[in-house]
Amino acid sequence: MAATEKRPEIIALSKGLQGIPVCEDYDRMISGMMYNPTIPQLLEARHRCRGLAADYNNLDTKTVTYDKIADVRLELLRKLVGRVGDGTFIEPPFLPDYGSNISIGKDCFFNWNVTILDTSLVVIGDRVQIGTGVSLITAGHDTSILSRRKFVEFGHPIFIEDDCWIGSNVLVLPGVRIGQGCTIGAGSVVTKDIPPFSVAVGAPCRVKKTIQSAEEEEQDPNNEYRNIVREDR
């Protein structure tokens, strides 16, 4: 359902993102209130995103060596999304809606065909890995037919915290927060918040078990990964 008032904390988060279309309907949009997506400022913002996404997705990799591709893609990505940390790489095609409403942390990896419908904010933490065909959908519509005839809609933010793994073809719906260290099984439909350090699967997605934090794993002498040395990229 649509919100009835603005969310100051979401609007404050948006101020740290580059390229946002500053206007009244934008604040309503990211707050989850009904808004008009056809006003010029929002049409222009989506048009800008289409052009920058085309530049990213159509990069001629024959002109870039394998050891430089990550740097080139990161430079293009920083023009496309609101914020992105060092070491993050997204395989094309990557399909955002506004782009500017997306914040991505450091050392993330998204495989190809990730769609982010960022009507509201999509905030992704550090070291998040996302599989092929994943859709993060913040946009929503009322069941009222008249609302569609009037071209009004709303959106609720999505948060994916640090160290999550989102399996292939997962669908994350508006207003969901996936807690730190979660694994979401392939093909899941995430309709509600998932607590930190959970393994969750299904449609709708439900928690099947909880796991240790990374710090707890480091203290476990039987953990097979604790002595692996990570090589810098």
CA distance 130 to 180: 14
CA distance 215 to 18: 34
CA distance 181 to 192: 16
Bond from prior residue into 204 cis (ω within 30 degrees of 0): yes
Please confirm, yes or no, whether 141 is among the known catalytic residues. Answer: yes
CA torsion through residues 83, 58, 140, 5, sign: positive
User: How many C-beta atoms surround the C-beta of residue 117 within 10 A?
Assistant: 19
User: How many C-beta atoms surround the C-beta of residue 97 within 10 A?
Assistant: 23
Q: Which of 141, 192, 208, 226 is catalytic?
A: 141
Catalytic (active-site) positions: 141
